[in-house]
Structure 1
Amino acid sequence: MGSRTPREGPHHRVWFAGILVLLAAMLLVSITAAVMLGPVAIDPGTVWKIALSNLPGFAGKVDQTWSQGQSHIIWDIRFPRVLLGAVVGAGLSVAGVAAQALMRNSLADPYILGVSSGASVGATLVILLGAFSYFGQYALSLAAFMGALVAMGLVFLLARVAGRISTTRLLLSGIAISMMMSAATNFIVTMAPREEGIRTAMYWMMGSLAGAKWSYMTFPVLIVLAGTLLFLLQYRSLNALLMGDDTAVTLGVNIQHFRIVLILTLALLTGTLVSISGSIGFVGLMIPHIVRLLIGSDHRRVLPVSLFLGAIFIVWADVLARMALAPEELPIGIVTALCGGPFFIWLLRRSSYSFGGGQE
């Protein structure tokens, strides 16, 4: 995986552009289907008529053939939830790509490394105890970011041996930090004064998009776009990291500075997404690894494909969470864990799971 990417010709660029167009079309179809499905089934034509009628410039120009109830269900409930799921899936996948490059290991993932658990500690402090309330609407995201940053820093420090990342220490450090952060979260939940708040927090800790609103969309969309753009601009440095520290330095990468930028961006991405959707695991592990198996390890390709594929995966995972036990609803984290757990075991059983080649 760490080999130099060959020069691309026009055929390769057209082929890759075709993949992106196909994934974009699949995402559009997935969003449409996810919005249609539910206790009240609504046809796709009505779905997009309602959507267009709520967009600036189209109000009053679309013939209204739907009821007020259908409009409320589609625009106020289902569309925000489905789109938020797409944003969360895209962001977690991109974060997984960066985490695997940073740690130079295909087992790296914000959830497994304890970053999501750290973000959960900060978010739970705000939800149950009202901490950081003086930051207003940004309190939840800021607290989750700080928790993710602390967890990421601890795992990264504990996993280093003689200046190098050890796979064994990486996994053990991630598990240890995750358990410590989860214990802290459980302690906060136990000490919470309100029983209703405890139930809300417990459901949120397993991952949920049920509370999605249009007002929640702007900040995570901006963070995911900014993080993805930053990683794309630095794709050569990410590629160099996969070849090892010595090679990256030879290619002109400032390893220490670049790793700090990656850690901060990962913490911001993970903290923001956890603050709005709870802890959804294994997305950042599965999607980037599947993409690398399909198209190689060049981050110029891996990042956009992972973004689309992660969005599609979470949209359908949320559909399954809503429909499997209807009218009851599963936390989406259970669905992703049922998919990600076996995938993680398969990955562990492979003869090599580090990007350098041999097993560590």
Structure 2
Amino acid sequence: MVWAAITGGPVSSVDAASYWIVVDSRVPRVLTGALVGAGLAVVGVIVQAMVRNPLADPYVLGISSGASVGATAVVLFGVFSGLGLYALPTAAFLGALVATLLVFGIAQRGGGLTPLRLVLTGTALGYGFSALTTVLIFLRPVGDAARSVMFWLLGSLAAATWHSVALVAVVVVIGIGVVAARARQLNALAMGDEVAASLGIRASRFRLELFVIAALMTGFIVSVCGAIGFVGLIVPHVTRMVVGADHRKIILVAPVLGALFLVVADLMARIVVPPQEIPLGAITAAVGVPVFLGLMQRRRTRIDS
């Protein structure tokens, strides 16, 4: 059955219903999960290189929270409804872009743009965007839309379609290609602004370019599956443990590990308490929280020693 769905081969009339379930639901869901996992892993690599902190992810810089505000406004209030299928990704990207510009604008005032200022500003604005999302839901508390938004904000691939596969594939593939082409510059940036400057790289400008790429990828990913945490935190760190700190290798391996991680997490979300489906973000958090605490303890031990 699965092979027939993949190859387009013949199926019996008895299996026709199951065939279309596989074609229209299961395959798009798995492919979307793989692409989303790959994209979030690469965004995590970008963010951690920008701020030179292996404990950073898109949430730390407020990108995911900004995208969630835009997507929530579309679902609850019909913003950009004239754009049809493109309303949600457009609003999510604009939300992520606004968050990006605000973080950069505020962080570079006064003392210049530094990784620490980026993290502090992004964290503060991330809480602000999360509060705004809560207010939007509070203003529209009744109906299926509000309930679906609450479930969607915790992450879900239930709405995956072939359209979402195509949409995410274009953004993720282009994003990975652009970042892979700048892997050497990422290596220099991760070693410090002074090293980057000695190699002719303008650190502040390069960070802005990376931030826009991260915002674009995050915005489209959030529009498809909601806000899924910890993928961008765990996968880059595990990748560095496997292949080292060279971003030329990290950019190639992290998407593969991210895809595998999210596909397995989505499978667990569907089979843990059948027929109920656990929000995907809850599964990634169940894995991510202990890993995050372990990373913090490991860094503390390394610093103390």
TM bin (shorter chain)? over 0.9
| TM-score of the superposed pair, with normalisation by structure 1 | 0.79
Deviation track 1:57-91 (CA, whole Å, cap 9, x = no partner) reads: xxxxx343561111022111111111110010000
Do structure 1's residue 52 and structure 2's residue 24 form an aligned pair?
no
Counterpart of 2:177 (choices 212, 229, 249) is: 229
Q: Unpaired runs of 5+ in structure 2?
A: none
Counterpart of 1:325 (choices 242, 253, 273) is: 273
Which residue identity is paired with 2:52? R
Do structure 1's residue 273 and structure 2's residue 221 form an aligned pair?
yes
Counterpart in the other structure of 1:260: 208
1:114 and 1:269 mapped to 2: Cα distance? Answer: 14
Do structure 1's residue 218 and structure 2's residue 173 form an aligned pair?
no
1:178 and 1:257 mapped to 2: Cα distance? Answer: 22
Counterpart in the other structure of 2:15: 67
Deviation track 1:37-63 (CA, whole Å, cap 9, x = no partner) reads: xxxxxxxxx21122211xxxxxxxx34
Counterpart of 1:133 (choices 58, 68, 81) is: 81
Do structure 1's residue 149 and structure 2's residue 82 form an aligned pair?
no
Q: 8 Å contact 1:99–1:108 — kept in the other structure?
A: yes
Q: If you compute each CA radius of gyration, which structure gives the higher value, 1 or 2? A: 1
Q: 8 Å contact 1:132–1:139 — kept in the other structure?
A: yes
Counterpart of 2:258 (choices 310, 318, 322) is: 310
CA RMSD of aligned residues (A): 2.1
2:263 and 2:224 mapped to 1: Cα distance? Answer: 15
CA displacement at 1:348 relative to structure 2: 2.0
Do structure 1's residue 113 and structure 2's residue 61 form an aligned pair?
yes
Of Structure 1 and Structure 2, the greater helix share is in: 2
1:172 and 1:77 mapped to 2: Cα distance? Answer: 41
Which residue identity is paired with 2:281? G
CA displacement at 1:133 relative to structure 2: 2.1
Deviation track 1:83-109 (CA, whole Å, cap 9, x = no partner) reads: 110010000001100111111111210
Counterpart of 2:133 (choices 176, 185, 188) is: 185
Which residue identity is paired with 2:20? H
CA displacement at 1:351 relative to structure 2: 3.3
Identity within the alignment, %: 45
Which residue identity is paired with 2:114? I
Q: 8 Å contact 1:114–1:181 — kept in the other structure?
A: yes
- Matches of residues 93-104 of structure 1 in structure 2 within 5 Å? 93-104=41-52
Do structure 1's residue 165 and structure 2's residue 114 form an aligned pair?
yes
Q: 8 Å contact 2:186–2:247 — kept in the other structure?
A: yes
- Matches of residues 278-297 of structure 1 in structure 2 within 5 Å? 278-297=226-245
Count matched residues.
Answer: 302
CA displacement at 1:114 relative to structure 2: 2.1
SS of equivalent to 1:325: coil
2:120 and 2:187 mapped to 1: Cα distance? Answer: 26
CA displacement at 1:218 relative to structure 2: 1.2
2:205 and 2:121 mapped to 1: Cα distance? Answer: 23
SS of equivalent to 1:134: helix
1:150 and 1:344 mapped to 2: Cα distance? Answer: 28
1:106 and 1:156 mapped to 2: Cα distance? Answer: 20
Q: 8 Å contact 1:111–1:280 — kept in the other structure?
A: no
1:149 and 1:87 mapped to 2: Cα distance? Answer: 21
2:93 and 2:53 mapped to 1: Cα distance? Answer: 23
2:135 and 2:277 mapped to 1: Cα distance? Answer: 26
Q: 8 Å contact 2:227–2:281 — kept in the other structure?
A: yes
